Structures are given as C-alpha cells and as structure tokens.
Amino acid sequence: MFMENKLTNARILIVEDEVQINRLIELVLQSAGYYKIQKAFDGKEAFNLIRQNKPDLVLLDVMIPEIDGFSLCKLIKEDETLNSIQIIMLTAKKMEDDVLQGFENGAIDYISKPFSNKILLARIKAHLLNSDFYNDLKQYKNIQLDNIKKTVKIGNVFVELTKFEFIILQTFMSNIGVVFSRSQLLSYVRGNDGFDVSERAVDVQIVNLRRKLGEFGSNIETVRGMGYKLKES
C-alpha cells in the first residue's frame, strides 16, 4: 500500500496535441490514483512546463506542433537539471527507425497507439520504481533525507523539522537547481488536505528551514520575483 501511495505522488506531464486522446490519458491516470497531472498540447508549451515544474515522468507524443517529440526529448536530456526525467514516447508510428530515434534521444520506453490502458499503467509504474523519484534516501552535501522514516540528518545529527518544512526540503532535494514559486511550494504543502494556507506562510517556512539547517541554510536561495531553489552543488 505504501508503494502505491508513493507512486501516485509522482508528477506526470501528458504531451499530446489531440484533445480527446490527451483527456483519455488523463482519465486513465486518474483512475489509477495519479493526481499530480499536467497537460500540454504542443512542444513549446510542454518545455515551458517542464522547466517550471520538472515532472517525474513525461508521456510524450512524437507528432506534436512547435517542437516535435524527438526534438523535445533531446532538449530535456541535454539539460543537466532535467535529464533525470523519465520519458515514455507515445505515437502511432511503428517503424523501427522511429523507435531507435526515440531511444537515441533519451526516451526510456516507446508505446505505439492505440495502446492498452493496463500496459500503459504497468510501464509507468515500472519506470517510476526505477527512477530517482522512488529513491528513499536523498543526499545533498552533508544533508541526508530519508523519505521512509521522514527524518533529516546533517552529518550524524538529526534535525527536527515540521511536516511542512520536511515537504519543502524534500521538494528542493528532489529538484536541485529548479526554481519553485511560492504557489508551487504551497500546492505541495497543501497536498490533498485542502486546508487554507497563504503564500506568505511559505516564506515563514523557508526562514525556519534555513535556520534549522544552520550553515547549510544559505543553500536555499531566493530568486527575486520568481521563488526559491536549492543551489546546485
């Protein structure tokens, strides 16, 4: 049960220009419990969302406008801050050369349309289990975060964090160098609980988190007019 709950926390981006197919994939994911879903209908829109939010997995159609799927896949994999993203290509093309091109550009899987919903979900699950997203221990400099035990250590010393502080640090350590706006961090803090928290409350959490991390707190950088990020090592 824990494994399933954790997997459904994965952020998934659907990139498909046909509105009905895009919506169908979204419904399939929602039926399996995935709720952090975003959608894009062309390559340029998709790349902007990817840079803003860094999803854990992208379902990417090949034949999309603005930037085609192969080119977008290559752009993602050439970016050091994005190349851990898992990419599954979705396309009606079945030619061997097209499949090879997808893999050469960094895709981890290739599913031809029309596809079985069960196969799609099984492939998504398998790749998430093998991704950085599912890694239970995260390390940044001398900070170690344990996703299972919900603990944080600096060296051998445990640091007591509130639930919200832990979620924010977890988000940063899973996306080093990625800028998160207050509203994005707020959405992660809220989760499914739906309670009301203001964006200013995020600033308070950041201040407290920096203080508790001591000398490492300065690694949480303020990006003026945009939000916060964890400085790349």
pLDDT in tens, 204-218: 999 999 999 999 999
Q: What is the pLDDT of residue 1?
A: 44
Whole-structure pTM value? 0.60
pLDDT category at 196 given cuts 50, 70, 90 is low
The listed range with the strongest mean pLDDT (92-96, 106-110, 189-193, 220-224) is 220-224
pLDDT category at 233 given cuts 50, 70, 90 is low
| CATH code given to domain 2-133 | 3.40.50.2300
Q: Please state, in angstroms and rounded to a whole number, the distance separating the CA atoms of residues 48 and 137.
A: 29
Q: What is the pLDDT of residue 37?
A: 95
pLDDT average, residue stretch 213-226: 93
User: Would you list the domain boundaries of the chain?
Assistant: 2-133, 136-230
Strand spans (E) along the chain: 11-15, 36-40, 57-61, 86-91, 109-112, 137-140, 143-146, 151-154, 157-159, 220-223, 227-230
Q: Who wins on pLDDT, 169 or 83?
A: 169
Q: Who wins on pLDDT, 134 or 113?
A: 113
Q: Do residues 188 and 228 lie in contact, with contact meaning Cβ atoms separated by under 8 Å?
A: no
pLDDT category at 232 given cuts 50, 70, 90 is confident
Region of poorest pLDDT, from 19-23, 61-65, 176-180: 176-180
pLDDT average, residue stretch 67-75: 93
Q: Do residues 210 and 156 lie in contact, with contact meaning Cβ atoms separated by under 8 Å?
A: no
For residue 199, pLDDT beyond 80: no
Closest CA to 201 of 161, 165, 150, 160: 165
Quickly name the fold that domain 136-230 has.
Arc Repressor Mutant, subunit A (1.10.10)
Q: Who wins on pLDDT, 200 or 67?
A: 67
40: which residues sit within 8 A by CB, 6+ positions away? 13, 14, 15, 46, 49
pLDDT average, residue stretch 134-152: 82
Q: Do residues 63 and 19 lie in contact, with contact meaning Cβ atoms separated by under 8 Å?
A: no
Q: Do residues 98 and 91 lie in contact, with contact meaning Cβ atoms separated by under 8 Å?
A: yes
How far is CA 139 from each of CA 65, 128, 142, 173, rounded to the nearest angstrom?
A: 38, 19, 7, 7
Q: What is the pLDDT of residue 128?
A: 84
Q: What is the pLDDT of residue 147?
A: 76
Q: What is the pLDDT of residue 115?
A: 87
DSSP 88: E
Q: Please state, in angstroms and rounded to a whole number, the distance separating the CA atoms of residues 168 and 188.
A: 8
